[in-house]
Structure 1
Amino acid sequence: MDYTNPNGSATVSIFLRKYPATASLDQRLGSLLVNPGGPGGSGSSTVEALGEYISTMLDGRYDIIGFDPRAVNLTGPSTACHDIEYKFAHRAYQANLQGALFPHVDEATEAAHVAKLSAIQLSHHKACIARGNYDMLRNSGTVAVAKDMERIVQALGEDGLNYLGYSYGTILGATFAAIRPNLVKRMVLDGVSDAEAYFSDVSQWGRAGMQDSHKTFAGFISTCIEAGPTQCALAVGKDNKTETTEGLTKRLDMLYAKLGKEPLIVEDSLTGPGIVQGHNVQLAVFSFMYFPNTWPELAQGLALLEQGDGRDFYPSVNALIYGTFPEPYTENVFNRSMQRFPGSTRESVYPILCGDSPQLNMTNQEYADYFHEMGRLGPGGEQLSLIVGGCRGWSFRATERYTGPWEVEKGLNKTKFPILFVSLDADPITPLASAVKMSKGFGAESATLLIQRGFGHSS
């Protein structure tokens, strides 16, 4: 479990899932490990859902292997802060009701809002202190997972790592390349996050992520208008005239303000009754920016909200909070939520993200200021602030953290094969600037950058 203590007896069981190569034996190139991001994304679930797609992209020449990193999904032991997932889901529900500090929160109640939100977030940390598995909480960091990948490669009998990582998975891949450069074979890092900021200051990592979010949101607005009302329900206004960029942006701001002051009551939906608040809508808009193919669905939901109908939108909000879109009750209602190690999946972001970074000390006022700063940096910045803020006071530091170097000029070693960094030029959470920085840091002999024009998160 703890690579710094080779004589320790505790172990970790890594759960893997494989989509076998389909090419003829003489065309096969070994195994490809996949990480979908997060932190907290399940590689095994990714292969279950997308293994065939990834294999097809690669002409079936690799065994596609998804593994669950420490503290994630079916890899165990669990971090054990909550013995059943319902307990964590309930805390997530409380946080969702309170929500991110949003511009439409009245200044007079801002301090009380942040204080309550802080208490809700701290309750998870307190649960981990009270009943968590301290060994796992301190040994679920990125460096430990990178070393697990080395062990997987060894177990497969291969002479190096082939790897495809998205978003946070680019941090994991870059970390592996930094500490095991001689084992890098074919590595593609898509949707590149700033690994240096991630390990040095989680609040700065949040700031770095917002650099292109304005571009993505502008793309949603402009492509909606260009597509017209048959493909985008927001493309025309109440007078049936084609919207302008300014007009549509104003409509969304008005919707945020309206729901910020008075939530929309949803009498029934796929997930039951509830309310839709302004910060819920902002979270959904920010999340939908990742996937342009979902923008027509988003526009339809927003148009219905304008009309006072939240039945279709409310389940989408719950899916963002709880991690899975609910199936009709005639289907398997448990889906993948009942895991072998209960609670591990939804707890995973904290021991990984927070444990990898130095202690984040923010007063409630500083937290409020951070919300406002992130909101100015880009649309949806308040929602990323909510994730970063979950690290406030987190006391479980990763046993091993990589703090550099991140540049060849400062001692970063050349990789066995060059890394391919891939970035869109309008990504809402992993901006092009991060890809440029990371690829330059590894140097021309170890990295190449492929830039794709377009909107969304990763290519």
Structure 2
Amino acid sequence: MRPSSSFGSLLPIALWLPTALAGSEFNWKTLEASTTLHWTPCYSAPLQCTLLQVPMDYSAPQNGVTASIAIVRYPSTSPKSQYRGPLLFNPGGPGGSGVDAIVASGADFVTVFGDQFDVIGFDPRGVSYSTPTISFFKTEAERRFLIPSAENVIFPSLNASSTALADTCYGSVLGATFASLFPDKVGRLIIDGVEDMEGYYSGNLTNAMLDTDKAMQTFFDGCAKAGTEGCAFHAASASEISAKLDALSSAIKTQPFPVIAPQSHGIVDFLFLRNAILDAVYAPYDLFAPLAHGLAVLAAGNATLLYTQNEVPNFECDCTNSSAALPFHENNFESYMTIACGDPVPINDTVGELQTFYEATTKVSSFADLLASTRVVCASPNFNTRGWKIHREGRFQGPVGAKNTSFPLLLVGNTIDPVTAHASAVKTSMAFPGSVVLTQDSVGHTSLVAPSQCTFGHFKAYFVNGTLPAPGTVCSVEAELFPSGSYNITVKRAAENSEDWKVREAANNIGRVMRKILRRTL
């Protein structure tokens, strides 16, 4: 968590951390780690990469053991007089690659925030391109063939979700922890999708689920309001739509659907259905309408549409061996579990204690079977007594907060966020006097779920001018959960070819890239 002097003291750091791909490749082994930043052209122009060497253990730097942090930069093109410094970005996870995020969407960040910043992505130690790293597999082939059987060992009786494991809001944890440890190093810090810090470090994310069922309810309400034209799973009332989904979920438990699709094959069963629904709750403006269509077709006896909407193509070996020289770096699952189980206090729950914990979480959300599974894995003997050795020396133990940061924080929360309740943003803001909570009136995870000129206007004003929104500010979004054809045409005609339209599309692309990165686990 300790920053290097190159980042922490010489320039004010603008750091945007939401709580989530690369189309070209680069061999990071060609770079030599250094305690200073030496930028090298990488991927495709204008991207530049470097490896920052840091002590493995900051309490004993003299032992000479080091780690290398992979960093990518989309450099500013503005004149020196207008240059604002680096804007650091981390997509969260834990396990999400900030490098891949900027490789895929660096240009979009420039469109949204302007070219006054160097847009920088980094992989925290142990994640993706940073070293040392942990991976159970040497190749993508091993991962794709062995993970399915391993999933049956790790989660034999749980409806555990790889997506749920990928999407807790580690970016917000990084931001709030950094501000707590180094309040004098805060330049401009936006934390979007704010995790319950107390819950994270205690290994109990129950409060993260406070609004999950509210988010699901917006599907039922929106579908009922949209009518048959806007929502294919329509019924006369929200309660009837909910009952239809319950009946469909119950039926698929005993009658799953095998599917052969163009790119893969698989089974649409109860777990697949639950994950598809939870995915849509994360990004409802993009996924509610397609989900409704998939559910309607599934209810009619055909699972192909729902499957292809959530399809992961079958793995194909690279017969040309063109990527053989590139080191295998995918370790999202391993880094997720190492960080998620290593940051909190040790979890040594008995089976009975886990059962009590699970029963308590089910009273908070009907999605507890998916979202509360991390604690179960962290309590597993595989992590505590066999094979894994997690060293917690130097673990952050609080308190979260600081009486006076060098610049006030901007915290962002949706009115209904399925995995980072708005209440957590308010709670965290109270720990940082002078900070402000910007509320976006939207459903889904982080402000990236829907375009909002208001929200991004405040982001840009904060980064460029240091201007905070007034306390209590609420921003609307330019999106609908079940958009009609006339709505889409009106919005496009009003904004097409304008700067606002370009910013809107760039913001949408950033959100889609983050979701892809955070889904790349099991």
The question of a shared fold, defined as TM-score above 0.5 by the shorter chain, is answered with yes
Q: Distance in 1 between matches of 2:150 and 2:189?
A: 37
Aligned to 2:114: 59
What SS class does the counterpart of residue 23 from structure 1 fall into? coil
- Residues 350-396 of structure 1: CA distance to partner in whole angstroms, max 9, x if unpaired? 11110001221233344344344333311322111223322113231
Unaligned runs of 5+ in 1: 101-111, 122-165, 236-241, 320-325
2:270 to 278, 281, 285: 278
Q: Distance in 1 between matches of 2:210 and 2:346?
A: 24
Aligned to 1:322: none
What SS class does the counterpart of residue 438 from structure 2 fall into? strand
Aligned to 1:33: 88
Instruction: Give the letter aligned to residue 349 of structure 2.
Output: M
Instruction: Give the letter aligned to residue 455 of structure 1.
Output: V
Aligned to 2:518: none
Q: Distance in 2 between matches of 1:74 and 1:317?
A: 27
Aligned to 1:158: none
Query: Is residue 287 of structure 1 aligned with residue 342 of structure 2?
Result: no
Instruction: Give the letter aligned to residue 351 of structure 2.
Output: N
Q: Distance in 2 between matches of 1:313 and 1:338?
A: 37
TM normalised by structure 2 equals 0.66
2:344 to 334, 340, 357: 357
Q: Distance in 2 between matches of 1:93 and 1:302?
A: 25
Aligned to 2:369: 382
Measure how far apart 1:13 and its partner are.
1.9
What SS class does the counterpart of residue 26 from structure 1 fall into? helix
Query: Is residue 398 of structure 1 aligned with residue 356 of structure 2?
Result: no
* More deviation, 221-230/415-424: 221-230
Identity over aligned pairs, percent: 31
Q: 1:282 to 1:338 in 2, by over 3 A?
A: farther
Instruction: Give the letter aligned to residue 187 of structure 2.
Output: K
Aligned to 1:113: 157
Q: Distance in 2 between matches of 1:334 and 1:433?
A: 50
Q: 1:337 to 1:265 in 2, by over 3 A?
A: farther
Contact 2:89 2:121 in 1 (8 A): yes
Query: Is residue 435 of structure 1 aligned with residue 490 of structure 2?
Result: no
Q: 1:14 to 1:413 in 2, by over 3 A?
A: same
Aligned to 1:163: none
Contact 2:223 2:238 in 1 (8 A): no
- Where do 1:24-423 residues align within 5 Å? 24-90=79-145, 92-94=147-149, 113=157, 167-199=169-201, 201-202=202-203, 204=204, 206-235=205-234, 242-266=235-259, 268-292=260-284, 293-317=286-310, 319=312, 326=313, 340-393=327-380, 394-395=383-384, 396-407=390-401, 412-423=402-413
What SS class does the counterpart of residue 390 from structure 1 fall into? helix
TM normalised by structure 1 equals 0.75
Measure how far apart 1:90 and its partner are.
4.7
Instruction: Give the letter aligned to residue 449 of structure 1.
Output: V
Measure how far apart 1:334 and its partner are.
11
Contact 2:172 2:192 in 1 (8 A): yes
Q: Distance in 1 between matches of 2:241 and 2:171?
A: 35
- Residues 134-154 of structure 1: CA distance to partner in whole angstroms, max 9, x if unpaired? xxxxxxxxxxxxxxxxxxxxx
Contact 1:78 1:341 in 2 (8 A): no
Instruction: Give the letter aligned to residue 191 of structure 2.
Output: L
Query: Is residue 456 of structure 1 aligned with residue 455 of structure 2?
Result: no
Instruction: Give the letter aligned to residue 281 of structure 2.
Output: M
Q: Distance in 2 between matches of 1:413 and 1:97?
A: 47
Measure how far apart 1:439 and its partner are.
0.5
Measure how far apart 1:94 and its partner are.
3.5
Measure how far apart 1:285 and its partner are.
0.9
Contact 1:221 1:248 in 2 (8 A): yes
Aligned residues: 379
Measure how far apart 1:414 and its partner are.
1.4
Measure how far apart 1:68 and its partner are.
1.1
Q: Distance in 1 between matches of 2:326 and 2:366?
A: 35
Unaligned runs of 5+ in 2: 1-55, 163-167, 385-389, 448-522
Contact 1:255 1:278 in 2 (8 A): no
Q: Distance in 2 between matches of 1:339 and 1:365?
A: 46
Q: 1:250 to 1:92 in 2, by over 3 A?
A: farther
Q: 1:54 to 1:234 in 2, by over 3 A?
A: same
Q: Distance in 1 between matches of 2:273 and 2:245?
A: 9
Contact 2:177 2:400 in 1 (8 A): no
Measure how far apart 1:330 and its partner are.
12
Q: Distance in 2 between matches of 1:328 and 1:167?
A: 29
Q: Distance in 2 between matches of 1:10 and 1:218?
A: 51
Instruction: Give the letter aligned to residue 383 of structure 1.
Output: L
- Computed over aligned residues only, the root mean square deviation of the Cα atoms, in angstroms, reads 3.2
Contact 2:172 2:191 in 1 (8 A): yes
Contact 1:264 1:276 in 2 (8 A): yes
- Residues 72-119 of structure 1: CA distance to partner in whole angstroms, max 9, x if unpaired? 22112221433334444455424666897xxxxxxxxxxx835xx89x
What SS class does the counterpart of residue 12 from structure 1 fall into? strand
Q: 1:305 to 1:193 in 2, by over 3 A?
A: same
Instruction: Give the letter aligned to residue 217 of structure 2.
Output: A
Contact 1:15 1:67 in 2 (8 A): yes
Q: Distance in 2 between matches of 1:213 and 1:336?
A: 41
Q: Distance in 2 between matches of 1:298 and 1:340?
A: 37
Instruction: Give the letter aligned to residue 439 of structure 1.
Output: S
Q: Distance in 2 between matches of 1:308 and 1:180?
A: 57
Q: 1:300 to 1:92 in 2, by over 3 A?
A: farther
Measure how far apart 1:71 and its partner are.
2.0
Q: Distance in 2 between matches of 1:297 and 1:328?
A: 25
